[in-house]
Structure 1
Amino acid sequence: MASGGSEGGDDDSKPPGEDKSGLSDGDWRANAHEGEGGQGSVNSWVNVDSNQKIIDRIAITDSWSTEDTEEPERYRGIYEELVRKGMSMSDAIFGGSSRIPFYKEAYVQGLLTPESRATETGTVRMRGYRRGNANDPRRVPGSIHWRIYMDHCYAGDLWKLIDFHAMDGTPIPESFIWYAMECLASALVQMETCARARPYAREQKDETIVLLDIKPTNVLLDMAGQSGRYPVYPRLRISDFGSAHITYKDDPENMYNRLEMTVTPGFQAPELNRPPISTVVEEISDADEEEEEEEEEEEEEEEEEEEEEEEEEEEEEEEEE
Structure 2
Amino acid sequence: MKKDKFAYLKRDAKAAGWQASLPLGSGSQGSVSVWIKTNANGQISERIVVKDNYDTDWEICSPLKQFSEDKLLPMELGVLYALKHAKANAPAGSLISARGLVNDPTPTILSHKVDKVLKFARCHLEYCPYGDLAEVMATHLEDGGAFPEPFLWCLLSCLADAALLLQQGHLQRALQGWRVIVHRDIKPENIFLGPFSSHEYPLYPVPKLADFGLAYVVDPAEDTTGLESRGTRNYLAPEQNGHDSMPLCTQTSTYGIGITLMALMNLDRETGRNIDWDSDQTPEFDETGKQYTEALRGLVSQCIEFDVQNRISLDTLRARLEELTAPGNEDKSSGFRRMSAENISSWRNGPHDLKLQPDPYRLRMSFAMSSDEDSGDGEPMTDEEESEQGEEPTKGSEETDDESMED
- The normalised TM-score by structure 1 is 0.62
RMSD: 3.2
**Which 5+ residue runs of structure 1 have no aligned equivalent?**
10-16, 83-99, 134-141, 202-206, 279-321
The match for 2:51 is 61
Which letter maps to 1:111?
A
The match for 1:129 is 112
Larger Rg belongs to: 1
Aligned residues: 231
Q: Give the CA deviation at 1:43.
A: 0.9
Give the 5 Å matches for 1:186-197.
186-194=161-169
Q: Give the CA deviation at 1:263.
A: 0.7
Q: In percent, how many aligned pairs have the same letter?
A: 26
**Which 5+ residue runs of structure 2 have no aligned equivalent?**
96-103, 247-407
Deviations 1:105-126 (A, max 9, x none): 1010121123352533211111
Give the 5 Å matches for 1:225-236.
226-236=197-207
Which of the numbers 211, 227, 232 marks the counterpart of 1:240?
A: 211
Q: Give the CA deviation at 1:28.
A: 4.3
Which letter maps to 2:192?
L
Q: Give the CA deviation at 1:23.
A: 7.3
The match for 1:218 is 190
Taking structure 1 as reference, are residues 199 and 8 closer, same or farther at Cα in structure 2, changes over 3 Å only? farther
Which of the numbers 230, 236, 251 marks the counterpart of 1:268?
A: 236
Q: Distance in 1 between matches of 2:214 and 2:59?
A: 16
The match for 2:131 is 156
Q: Distance in 2 between matches of 1:107 and 1:122?
A: 17
Taking structure 1 as reference, are residues 52 and 173 closer, same or farther at Cα in structure 2, changes over 3 Å only? same
Matched, 1:254 2:254: no
Which of the numbers 110, 114, 122 marks the counterpart of 1:147?
A: 122
Taking structure 1 as reference, are residues 101 and 271 closer, same or farther at Cα in structure 2, changes over 3 Å only? closer
Which letter maps to 1:181?
L
Q: Distance in 1 between matches of 2:112 and 2:20?
A: 18
Q: Give the CA deviation at 1:47.
A: 1.8
- The normalised TM-score by structure 2 is 0.50
Q: Distance in 2 between matches of 1:192 and 1:233?
A: 26
Which letter maps to 2:148?
P
Q: Distance in 2 between matches of 1:48 and 1:199?
A: 43
Taking structure 1 as reference, are residues 216 and 173 closer, same or farther at Cα in structure 2, changes over 3 Å only? same
Deviations 1:232-261 (A, max 9, x none): 11110011000112215x55252352xx64
Q: Give the CA deviation at 1:79.
A: 3.5
Which letter maps to 2:231?
V
Contact 2:61 2:78 in 1 (8 A): no
Q: Which has the higher contact order (CA 8 A, sep 6+)?
A: 2
Deviations 1:117-149 (A, max 9, x none): 25332111111111159xxxxxxxx86111011
Which of the numbers 67, 71, 80 marks the counterpart of 1:78?
A: 67
Matched position secondary structure for 2:79 = helix
Taking structure 1 as reference, are residues 65 and 190 closer, same or farther at Cα in structure 2, changes over 3 Å only? same
Q: Distance in 1 between matches of 2:15 and 2:77?
A: 17
Give the 5 Å matches for 1:100-111.
101-111=72-82
Matched position secondary structure for 2:218 = strand
Give the 5 Å matches for 1:296-311.
none
Which letter maps to 2:29?
Q
Give the 5 Å matches for 1:24-35.
24=16, 26-31=17-22, 33-35=23-25
Contact 2:218 2:224 in 1 (8 A): yes
